Amino acid sequence: MPQHKRGFTLIELLIVVVIIGILAAIAIPKFANTKEKAYVASMKSDLRNLVTAQEAYFSDYNSVYAPSTTAMGTNYQASSGITVKINSSGGTGWTATAKSASTAKTCAIALGSGATNEGDPICN
C-alpha cells in the first residue's frame, strides 16, 4: 500500500505569499489616504469650532475678536495633534490656520472684511 504525504508544496506556498503581497500593496496606500483624510477632517472641524469660540469672545469682549487661541482660555481647545493659530484679528474680522504633523496639508479659514469663502475652511 502506497503512503501519501500530506502538506503543501513549495510552489503552493509561494503562490499564497505572492497573493498576500499583492493584496497588501493595494491596501496600504488606500489606508494611508484614509488617515490623511481623517486629519484634514479634524483640522476643518477645529476651525469650525474656532468660529463659534471667536463669536462668543466677540460678544463677551466688546466687539473684538480674540488675538490668539490662548486668549480664549478654556472656551477653545484644538484636537490632539492639531495646531490652530489665529493669524490676524480685530473688530472687523480674523483669519486662522490649522496644521498637523501627520499631514503636509494646511487648512485656513477667514471671517469678516476681505474674507473669501467666509467661514468655510479651505485646505491645500
Confidence (pLDDT) at 97: 96
Cβ distance 117 to 123 under 8 Å? no
| pTM of structure | 0.75
- Distance CA(23)–CA(124), nearest Å, equals 30
Q: What is the rounded CA–CA span in Å between residue 15 and residue 56?
A: 62
Looking at residue 117, its pLDDT comes to 74
d(CA 42, CA 103): 11
What is the reported pLDDT for 115?
72
- Looking at residue 1, what is its pLDDT? 63
Model pLDDT, residue 112: 83
Q: What is the mean pLDDT of each run of 10 residues along the chain (124 residues)?
A: 81 96 91 89 96 92 90 92 91 92 94 78 93
For residue 21, list its beta bridge partners: none
